[in-house]
Amino acid sequence: MNKNPIIPFLLIIFLGIGLVFLLSGLGATDDGEEDVATEEGTEESGGGEEASSGDVDAEGIARDNCASCHGQDFSGAMGPALAGTSLDEEGFTSIVRDGQGSMPAFSADQIADEELTALYQFFSEQ
């Protein structure tokens, strides 16, 4: 009646490790598919507000670059609120390009001028 406690322990460990690899592989695949679908939808629509800012997905750029500090809804978090910004476009561009306080500077290689203009319009409309 002596049961070996190592066998269930090892079984749980191996199943857990296998589950982590399985889920991480599935997660990586899902993200790529969503991005492609979003890009295709943007290109096919070709109208609405995005026509004024070209083919730039300002909301996507904001989610990728701004939301971690300025909040998921851009109403402020570690950084100040961006939604309904009271800055003019020149001031907004200056802060993004040069940084301010704990805000890092973003070069034209990181965020293109066209994307920066689209971001300003996106935040101004919120």
69 annotated to a ligand binding site = yes
- 124, HSE (Cβ side, Cα atoms, 13 Å): 14
118 annotated to a ligand binding site = no
Name the nearest CA neighbour of 123 among 71, 52, 62, 45. 62
89 annotated to a ligand binding site = no
Name the nearest CA neighbour of 111 among 126, 121, 96. 96
The answer to whether 14 touches 36, Cβ cutoff 8 Å, is no
70 annotated to a ligand binding site = yes
Residue ranges at the known binding site = 66, 69-70, 103
Residue ranges at the known binding site for heme c = 66, 69-70, 103
